[in-house]
Amino acid sequence: MEVGTKNPVLDLEALRVSISRTPSVLVILSTITAYIVKVFDKKPASFEVKKFLESKRFYLDFLASVGPALNSALTKKSWLSTNYVTDWWEEYVYLSSRDSLMINSNYFGLGTERIPSNRGTSRIAGYVWSILKWRKDALIDGKVPPIKLQKLVPLCPMQYKRAFGTNRAPGKDKDNLVYNEQSTHIAVFHKNALEFAIDSVQKSEPSEADKINHLPAGTALSREKWASLRDVLKSDAQNEASLAKIENALFHVWLDDEPANVVKPASMVEFARRCLHGSGQNVWFDKCFSVIASSNGHIGQNVEHTWADGAVMLHITEEVQVLEHLMIEYNPETGTILGKDVKSNAKMDILKWNSLEKTLEQISKELSTIADEITNLSLSQLSFSKFGKNEIKKWRLSPDAICQMAFQLTNFKIRNKLSMTYEAALARLFKDGRTETIRSCTTASAAFVKEMLDKNSDNQKRRNALKAAVTNHSELTKHAMVGEAVDRHLFALCVASRGLNMEHEFLNKYKKC
């Protein structure tokens, strides 16, 4: 489906240029000292002295040997790049991974419980129109103001530029993120065929020659296997052209023939699984994002992780839903879109394929492995309705920090131990920033857990412990957001040590931690 010409994103790029560069590379001594404190912070009263002394010996040797040289290399890299972490982060955390994208990397999102139409084809038509409207307003015409932290500080918009027309192409040793700025079409999956229109799936059925069957399952394989199969596909000119249409699309739409009822927790989990992994044979996991449309109007998404972090996709989704609410009117009885009949000039086509039998046969041999990965996944959903963020804000506490403390308490109740915990903080205050690590398990959170489980404690002591833990967590979050945390610095040191062949046991232990 053709949707318009792509113009340069001038306003977006101008905003990106105005964002501050990544702060200077941290002093290596302060980073490593802070790291050691954080590692042993989770057991302040009884940490293992032997392990601490061993770690101290490693980090002192690191500081006295290869550490300064590696940090100097990072400093030089920071002079030559807008962000000394992001390119390595995308390459080594995402693109170099050889695991399947399904479940391991891609993530899912669900729409709202209340939907404006339960007529599936009408709802997805309105939703896709809203996506394209947002894209035009924000990325082409520059009419959408940038998102700002506390409504004051603009965040780097780099990731938004890659929201459309981006595909993760598999490679033997490393994948490539391919961004097609000239993309003007959408790939629509329905049953066993690929099309370029929202409504045409009800008008005709594909011929046997045009069916792709379980070809999308190739994207659920390990990256080496999919790269090999993809090379075979591209050896045929017709198949290469059809594959290019899939990979160059603005985004994908999967028209699901099954209804979804996300009001009930059990049904919400079922629809969440359809968005996260589907059958393992229907979602094209390489694509920047795929809209999953149920037959009764519920919407979900499957999102490839390399091009952007979850907060970016969440923001786009919220904006799209607002546009749909304001600009699309559905008939309350039939669910169809109200308005004047407009003759569509959309170009529609079913992709053609030549001799897919051998490729499909190779993929068929892996379907049991894909099915096992899906079966081995445990996914649950908790509906908490006693109070929400508005109530927490009345306490003058951070809703996010409250949730993190709840995780710490729950984890201890289940496992009877404290665990090192990762939470992502946005690093988009700086140009091309992605995320930084918040280490949520701290002395303060441990004290809160202890107070909550102490039968001799009282509510006032527990409130005080909670407030102290939340305050400490909020401070950690601020440090992470302004470039004063330790993990991305240590990650960059690990990459530099590998590239310069300057390995050290301290960094090896950090990678395993």
For 201, which DSSP code? G
Tokens of 505: 């046991």
Dihedrals φ, ψ of 154, to 5°?
Answer: -70, 145
CA count, 13 A, side-chain hemisphere, 242: 24
Tokens of 489: 């610095």
The residues carrying an active-site annotation are 305
3-state secondary structure of 194: strand
For 140, which DSSP code? I
Separation between Cα atoms, residue 474 and residue 397, nearest integer Å? 9
Q: 86-112 in b/e burial notation, b at 16+ Cβ within 10 A?
A: bebbbbeebbebeebbbbebbbbbbbe
The answer to whether the CB of 371 falls within 8 A of the CB of 280 is yes
Separation between Cα atoms, residue 466 and residue 469, nearest integer Å? 5
Alpha-carbon radius of gyration of the chain = 25
SS3 percent helix, strand, coil of the chain, rounded to 5, is 50, 10, 40
The answer to whether the CB of 299 falls within 8 A of the CB of 306 is no
Furthest-apart CA atoms within the chain: distance in Å: 76
Dihedrals φ, ψ of 438, to 5°?
Answer: -105, 120
Q: How far is CA 317 from CA 39, 360, 415, 496, in A?
A: 37, 34, 36, 37
The answer to whether the CB of 385 falls within 8 A of the CB of 263 is no
Tokens of 398: 């951070």
Separation between Cα atoms, residue 369 and residue 373, nearest integer Å? 6
The answer to whether the CB of 250 falls within 8 A of the CB of 291 is no
The answer to whether the CB of 308 falls within 8 A of the CB of 163 is yes
- How would DSSP label each residue in 49-62? HHHHHHHHHHHHHH
